[in-house]
Amino acid sequence: MRRALVLAATPGVPLHPNPRVGCVLLSPEGEVVGEGFHHGAGTPHAEVEALAAAGERARGATAVVTLEPCNHTGRTGPCSQALLQAGVARVVVAQRDPNPEAQGGLDVLAAAGVETDAGLLADESLALNPAWTFAHVHGRPFVTWKFATTLDGRSAASDGTSRWVSSRAARLDTHLLRGLCDTMLVGTNTVEVDDPHLTVRDADDVLAPVQPLRVVMGERDLDPARRVLDDAAPTVHLRTQDPAKALATLYAEHDRHHVFLEGGPTLAAAYLKAGLVDEVVTYVAPMLLGAGRSSVGKLGIRTIDKALRLELVDATVLGAGEEANVRLVMRPGSRGSQARTSTDERN
């Protein structure tokens, strides 16, 4: 199973839309006869790749897989049937499949007389695909709220200027984190005022080959000249002010699993009040403004006892001197154990 986990985490394998999966086939004598991993959407699944490598030696073998073999037909056929047709005698998995459309492979195998086992190194398997797992368990994407702030909690000066609160090192780090997500989300006001591009770029300002879906949430019409509507990446306009509805739509209609929330203070407050922020990433700059736009809007909190408390997961200094920023990664304390976070993906 540890070898299967290593295969699943092969560098370069996309984090979305499909889970990373590894498979090892063992002969009755314990010899490795086939290995495989899923290379991304539309490619053979890990079990199929391992079966192809094993050939006839798969008959009577034990399949060790990081995720329950799928039981549905999508771009590829069901792995449960592929394992049955190959004559595999036993299947051991780490994690049960949380996807309601694909789960049930182990039950099909067991009903056909194949010996099955589940739960071996389950936590390690969960850490491979934290956002994907969370999305299928909860029926909505995992939400990371990112913002930059001064020491006194300001995201912009009183005249509206905000470039640059964060340092260059922090901005480059933001692009790395954007690349781990499949969705960038802002509100219509941010598009109107800041005109963000919402793309992933490298240090030389070159666009990444695969871009997250850009999502604008709000009922107002958008100026067609805004940069978020160009052809650098796909864009969806969700005409709603309801965070829960927006996330449900992204999951059910767009197959999205990890949202990077970069909207303004009003949108951030809406998601926080709805209990729909699963991770907070903030870049704190060593500067003071004394006035200006707050990093988050009103949360309806009137007393310190009701404060939304966060669990600190990581603190990292980026850059040096006046250009240094501190990146803080946090989880809402009362729900910190609900899911693995993108911090796990980075590690």
Q: Which residues are catalytic?
A: 47
Residue 218, Ramachandran bin (φ over 0: left; ψ between -120 and 50: alpha; else beta): left
Structure tokens at 238: 């969700």
Name the binding residues for substrate.
162, 178, 198, 201, 262
Measure the CA–CA gap between 32 and 53, rounded to whole angstroms: 10
User: CA separation (Å) from 340 to 32, 123, 134, 336?
Assistant: 31, 10, 8, 9
Nearest Cα to 343, choosing from 269, 280, 285, 294? 280
Structure tokens at 236: 């969806």
Structure tokens at 174: 């933001």
Structure tokens at 89: 């005698």
Q: Residues 1, 120: contact at Cβ < 8 Å?
A: yes
Name the binding residues for NADP(+).
148, 164, 190, 194, 264-270
Name the binding residues.
45, 70, 79, 148, 162, 164, 178, 190, 194, 198, 201, 262, 264-270
Name the binding residues for Zn(2+).
45, 70, 79
Structure tokens at 148: 């930059």
